[in-house]
């Protein structure tokens, strides 16, 4: 798949341009004897001192390191004894803490532009949880400008990939015109959508010819094999896998497949999993499991208990009401009665484990803000569920760091703690490889070199909660 689109490249070149300009300015200054002015490089440097580093390019913690950050990039890293911290640099005491890359939410949603304050609040919810990269899975024109402003550091928020609006069409001419328009507008990928099954292969050919990846759902009536043959960039939510696992002659096929296959799940033949895995590997298609999308609806926990979770205070009341309603509606569906719902959860976990163990590419994504998934906060639920599926915490963290950088075809650009990488970092109180829950205990988050200590994050979260409470009282 091709994750590099013109917009993405442009954003990266702009950044390189800034770094080059800074380097030239420093060279120009070097000949002056302007002792009064502090060297720009010193004051602009942030140093994590004596910190244990979980670099994520290997399953190991490097102890007592010093990591220097300048102009939004990691510029140096090594044993504290070997790395000089420039005078005037901001020092962050890392003793007893673990520094690792921020995570990517590879199936997130950032609201459209009609309420800029709400957009900023949601972007901050991601940052506040150590999510420093979001693949925004369905957007509008406002997201193109938002993506570029984020890349330039004009707004506090994760680096964002902008998917097109939900792709739907009635005929081939319309679908080709829409894809061309999305590509010309600069969207990074086409979000699938309600593409009629007979138009799907032609849509795929057009998208490949244009060089715009397509990802998300597998449209209704399109089989898993067809999407894999068409080299869909990512399949999200394990769409159509349950249908593939049900043998062709199963009686269940006369019923509706239901919600992600819930209507057929009793007829799943687990012996078909290896074939599904092999086909996925052969296609090179990524999966973004979004386990929490199904598990939050299937869990025995009541909706009332779920909207009492602490993070719910950052969401508008109308969204919470929608989630409560959805849980009630799913609980009433014939194809989602407890046994089927639980079987669906089990099959999806089994599939994740099998795909991962065989080396199929997996990227972390929860689908926020769907079904009790508060942006940023939902990544903790998703990771806990992936561990419950049998992956180690380190393997889960890799799906949110090095794997998304590979998906973007920019390995080393982010998702690692190493010189040259973007300074998207999380400082933790304990090693998350011991317990994935440790990812929650953050001493601070750095986004593109901008440092957010925990107390400033808490303060801004309080402001957001107060705004939500105010709106609820007004409404």
Which residues lie near Zn ion (CB under 5 A)? 137, 367
Alpha helical stretches, state H, 358-453: 378-388, 393-399, 402-407
Q: Is the dihedral of CA 38, 41, 44, 50 positive or negative?
A: negative
Give the integer Cα–Cα distance in Å for 64 and 136. Answer: 36
Counts of helices then strands in the chain (DSSP H, E): 17, 15
E strands, 71-189, in order: 73-79, 90-93, 98-101, 103-108, 131-136, 159-162
Nearest-approach distance from CB 370 to Zn ion, in angstroms: 6
CB of 125 to Zn ion, least distance (A): 16
Q: In this complex, which beta carbon is closest to Zn ion, that of residue 99 or of residue 362?
A: 362
Question: Per-residue DSSP letters for 38-53?
Answer: PPHHHHT-EEEEEEEE
Minimal CB distance to Zn ion: which residue?
A: 367
Residue 394 CB, nearest distance to Zn ion (Å)?
A: 27
User: Considering beta carbons, is residue 1 or 163 the nearer one to Zn ion?
Assistant: 163
Nearest-approach distance from CB 237 to Zn ion, in angstroms: 8
Alpha-carbon distances, residue 341 vs 329, 344, 378 (angstroms): 13, 5, 20
Residue 290 CB, shortest distance to Zn ion, in Å, is 7
* Cβ proximity to Zn ion, 110 vs 257, nearer residue: 110
With tokens 């590979």, the residue in question is 406
Nearer to Zn ion, 52 or 367 (CB): 367
Q: Is 148 helix (H, G, I), strand (E, B) or coil?
A: helix
Nearest C-alpha neighbor of 236 from the set 217, 262, 208: 217
Q: How far is the CB of 352 from Zn ion (least distance, A)?
A: 18
Task: Find out whether 425 and 100 touch, Cβ atoms under 8 Å.
Answer: yes
Max CA separation in the chain (angstroms) = 85
What is the distance in angstroms between the CA of the first residue and the CA of the last residue of the chain?
A: 45
**Bridge partners, 93 (sequence order):** 49
Q: At what angle do helices 6-30 and 141-151 cross, to 10 degrees?
A: 20
Give min distance, CB of 137 to Zn ion, in A.
5
Judged by beta carbon, residue 195 or residue 443, the one nearer Zn ion is: 195
Tokens 């009686």 identify what position? 251
Q: In the complex with Zn ion, which residue's Cβ is closer, 316 or 369?
A: 369
Between 193 and 449, CB nearer to Zn ion: 193
- Smallest separation, CB 108 to Zn ion (Å): 8
Rounded to the nearest whole angstrom, what is the least distance from the CB of residue 294 to Zn ion in the complex? 13
Residue whose CB is less far from Zn ion, 137 or 297: 137
In whole angstroms, the minimum distance from the beta carbon of 26 to Zn ion comes to 44
Neighbours of 136 (CB within 10 A): 23
CA-CA distance, 349 to 290, in Å (whole number)?
11
Q: Which is nearer to Zn ion, 159 or 234 (CB)?
A: 234
Which CB atom, from 146 or from 461, has the smaller least distance to Zn ion? 146
User: DSSP letter string over 262-295?
Assistant: TTTGGG--GGGHHHHHHHHHHHT-EEE--HHHHH
């Amino acid at each position: 798949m091709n994750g590099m689109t013109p917009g993405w490249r442009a954003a990266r070149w702009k950044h390189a341009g800034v770094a080059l300009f800074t380097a030239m300015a420093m060279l120009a200054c070097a000949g002056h004897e302007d002792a009064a002015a502090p060297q720009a490089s010193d004051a602009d440097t942030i140093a994590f001192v004596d910190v244990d580093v979980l670099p994520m390019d290997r399953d190991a913690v490097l102890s007592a390191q010093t990591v220097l950050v300048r102009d939004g990039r990691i510029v140096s890293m090594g044993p504290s004894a070997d790395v000089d911290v420039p005078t005037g640099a901001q020092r962050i005491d890392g003793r007893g803490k673990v520094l690792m890359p921020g995570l990517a939410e590879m199936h997130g949603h950032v609201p459209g532009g009609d309420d800029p304050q709400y957009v900023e609040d949601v972007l901050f919810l991601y940052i506040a949880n150590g999510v420093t990269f979001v693949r925004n899975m369905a957007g509008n024109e406002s997201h193109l400008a938002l993506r570029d402003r984020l890349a330039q550091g004009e707004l506090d928020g994760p680096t964002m990939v902008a998917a097109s609006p939900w792709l739907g069409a009635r005929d081939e001419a319309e679908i080709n015109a829409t894809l061309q328009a999305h590509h010309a507008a600069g969207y990074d990928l086409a979000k699938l959508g309600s593409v009629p099954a007979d138009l799907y292969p032609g849509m795929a050919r057009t998208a490949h010819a244009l060089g715009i990846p397509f990802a998300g759902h597998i449209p209704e009536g399109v089989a898993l094999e067809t999407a894999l043959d068409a080299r869909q960039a990512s399949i999200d939510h394990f769409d159509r896998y349950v249908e593939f696992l049900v043998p062709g002659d199963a009686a269940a096929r006369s019923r509706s497949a239901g919600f992600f296959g819930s209507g057929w799940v009793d007829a799943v033949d687990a012996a078909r999993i290896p074939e599904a895995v092999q086909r996925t590997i052969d296609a090179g298609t990524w999966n973004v499991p979004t386990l929490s999308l199904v598990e939050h609806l299937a869990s025995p926990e009541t909706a009332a208990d779920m909207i009492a979770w602490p993070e719910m205070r950052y969401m508008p009341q109308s969204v919470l009401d929608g989630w409560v309603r959805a849980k009630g509606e799913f609980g009433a569906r014939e194809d989602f009665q407890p046994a089927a719902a639980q079987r669906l959860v089990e099959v999806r976990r089994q599939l994740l484990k099998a795909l991962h163990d065989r080396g199929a590419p997996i990227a972390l994504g929860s689908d926020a803000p769907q079904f009790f998934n508060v942006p940023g906060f939902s990544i903790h639920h998703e990771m806990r569920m992936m561990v419950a599926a049998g992956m180690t915490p380190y393997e889960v963290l890799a799906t949110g760091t090095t794997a998304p950088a590979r998906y973007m075809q920019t390995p080393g650009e982010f998702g690692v703690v190493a010189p040259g990488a973007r300074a998207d970092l999380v400082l933790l109180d304990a090693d998350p490889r011991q317990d994935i829950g440790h990812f929650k205990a953050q001493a601070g988050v750095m986004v593109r070199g901008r440092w957010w200590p925990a107390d400033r994050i808490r303060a801004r979260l309080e402001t957001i909660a107060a705004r939500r409470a105010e709106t609820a009282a007004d409404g």
